[in-house]
Amino acid sequence: QQLPSETSRTITISLPDQAGQYQCHGKRTCWPSQSYLSSYLPISGIDLPSATVNISPVGPVYSGETVTLQCDISDYTDWTYQWYKNDQQQSPGSPSKTITTLSDQVSQYQCQGRRTDRPQSSQKTVSPHITVTANQPKATLSSDQQDILTGDSVTLTCTVESSGWRFYWYRHRQDSEPVATTSGSSYTLSQVSVSDGGLYRCRAGRGDPVYYTQYSEPVHIQVT
């Protein structure tokens, strides 16, 4: 470009697409007609810090269950978190976002970090992938013993296909208060007596507010 009254020229380039080795020189109509080429100036780009979305609970979730999306960004700590739904920018917020799953709603969310210093943004996350199941899960209850005598110990096991549950144990009636709550899937009756017999059920729950599975079918514990 001819610049009759200028001795320097500034250009703006976009990274990373225009990274590379740059040189310049000047040309004009009178003698000397051109300058020497400048030395090479290498221009390279560094990737923006990566951002990822972690989902809790892990694994399949159920329609109507509360799900927490956590935005994690490598490098630096002073991020303002920007969430997007269907590529529509939402109000800046915290690194975590709680939603109630409806069909594939979770896959509509992305996040990105913003800050005042360089780098001023992180990469935008890829859309999280999660499987949403419409049917409420059902717990399955089993006992490790069939012929139970007084003084025995009996272990009941409550099985749910996915993970992250607390387990609630019921005796006689499923709509009563649970007789026990455990973080593991087993509940042991120690040194049982005849009065410990009856129908036992279980169910599992997770999240806040708690999302419950269906009750299990009852298991009859008879102590002789």
Last residue of a domain, one of 81, 106, 133: 133
In a domain, 188, yes or no: yes
Q: Which CATH number characterizes residue 95's domain?
A: 2.60.40.10
Mean of the pLDDT values across residues 31-37?
Answer: 89
Both 100 and 160 in one domain: the answer is: no
Q: Which 3-state string (H, E, C) describes 18-34? A: CCEEECCCCECCCCCCE
Task: Tell me: pLDDT of 210 over 90.
Answer: yes
164 touches 195 (CB < 8 A): no
Provide the 3-class DSSP secondary structure of residue 73: strand
The residue whose two tokens read 């009254």 is: 5
pLDDT in tens, 50-98: 999 998 888 888 988 988 999 999 888 899 999 998 888 988 889 998 8
In a domain, 180, yes or no: yes
Please tell me the distance from the alpha carbon of residue 69 to that of residue 99, in angstroms, as a whole number: 8
The predicted model scores a pTM of 0.72
162: amino acid identity, one letter: S
As given in the structure block, the two tokens for residue 126 are 């890829």
Both 145 and 129 in one domain: the answer is: no
Please tell me the distance from the alpha carbon of residue 118 to that of residue 181, in angstroms, as a whole number: 50
Long-range contacts of 143-147 (CB under 8 A, 24+ apart): 143/219, 143/221, 147/224
Please tell me the distance from the alpha carbon of residue 169 to that of residue 201, in angstroms, as a whole number: 6
Instruction: Tally the domains of the chain.
Output: 2
Task: Tell me: pLDDT of 214 over 90.
Answer: yes
In a domain, 119, yes or no: yes
Both 156 and 200 in one domain: the answer is: yes
In a domain, 34, yes or no: no
In a domain, 216, yes or no: yes
Q: Which pLDDT score is estimated for 159?
A: 97
In a domain, 199, yes or no: yes
Q: Name the pLDDT band for 167 (thresholds 50, 70, 90).
A: very high
Last residue of a domain, one of 133, 148, 182: 133
Q: Name the pLDDT band for 128 (thresholds 50, 70, 90).
A: confident
Q: Name the pLDDT band for 103 (thresholds 50, 70, 90).
A: low
- The residue range of the domain holding 153 is 140-221
Q: Name the pLDDT band for 5 (thresholds 50, 70, 90).
A: low
Last residue of a domain, one of 133, 148, 172: 133
